[in-house]
Structure 1
């Protein structure tokens, strides 16, 4: 698979707001939680994350979403639930927005991310220690956007996901070299990035 995706058209049929989940219990504990076995039921928002979302919603400055699609991990679901309540919308779980799976690094300290990212910078197709390849994350997340573009028009989608998948998606949609996804400014918890 190529290290780059063709850049997405600047003219999209829909608007997209990419949102990283609020500060989570995994962030608080400094742990890598990327497997559905652990991430679906545990490691939801921390008190800091709940406060971040209260502040974000009180100062909302983007178009209101018409639909909310979210990773079905607990931390992203809890984030999406708060936004959905605020705007009176229903939630739409979407597995293609799930966290990048970090394989054998699951449950280890988050300092291990740097080891994976160093390999990403050399080969975005690597699967060191069972890690999900950057190219695979790009394919599933950019594929979701392409599908939404094909089947919808005039919607404002809020896509609630995780740091790595969103940074990879942004790099893919810009047609950038996937090896360089970590050269982007890191997306902060509870941040929103319009496409």
Structure 2
């Protein structure tokens, strides 16, 4: 990847009510208006701000799911910066696993690692996630210069994006350390 004109901070939303319920919420019908942050998620965001080591953001872009919206609003309010919804930052669609136990993530990720096609189960392909997530950065590169941009999204899409940026096979995305709720990763 060429050097970027902007600084990108990738943030996973804080702990959510979906995390608390241990269920998969990946469809907009379920995630846009429900399953916001838990009390723990709010505390994680406060801790994130208390230990902020990065440049002050110029703009926060986020998925339209409630948990990412609330996380982004927290940052934008604290740093007094613009906030922008971008649906390309949404959670990976987990198809038939929607509203089921989050223990089923492991079976999806095992199939990802084996290079199996999960689209028959309605699961969004790794390539599709990588392309839409990277398109957000490409759009920002075309629109901004010398900006610090926070992209607030979800764990799986962020790991897939980082794997893509590293130039590694997307099937290896779960070999990366998991991104914790309210954790920020600087794109270098």
Q: Normalised by the size of structure 2, how large is the TM-score? A: 0.97
**4+ residue runs of structure 1 moved beyond 6 angstroms?**
none
Conservation of the 8 A alpha-carbon contact between 1:98 and 1:161: yes
Matches within 5 A, 1:1-195: 8-9=1-2, 11-123=3-115, 125-195=117-187
| Unmatched 5+ stretches in structure 1 | 1-7
Change in 2 beyond 3 A, CA 1:186/1:168: same
Q: CA deviation at 1:150?
A: 2.3
Task: Report if aligned partners of 1:124, 1:178 keep a CA contact under 8 Å in 2.
Answer: no
Secondary structure, aligned partner of 1:23: coil
Aligned-CA RMSD value: 1.0
Unaligned runs of 5+ in 2: none
Distance 1:122 1:111 in 2: 18
| Secondary structure in 2 matching 1:160 | strand
**Structure 1 CA distance for aligned equivalents of residues 116 and 58 of structure 2:** 34
Partner Cα separation in structure 1 for residue 33 and residue 49 of structure 2? 25
Give the length in aligned residue pairs: 187
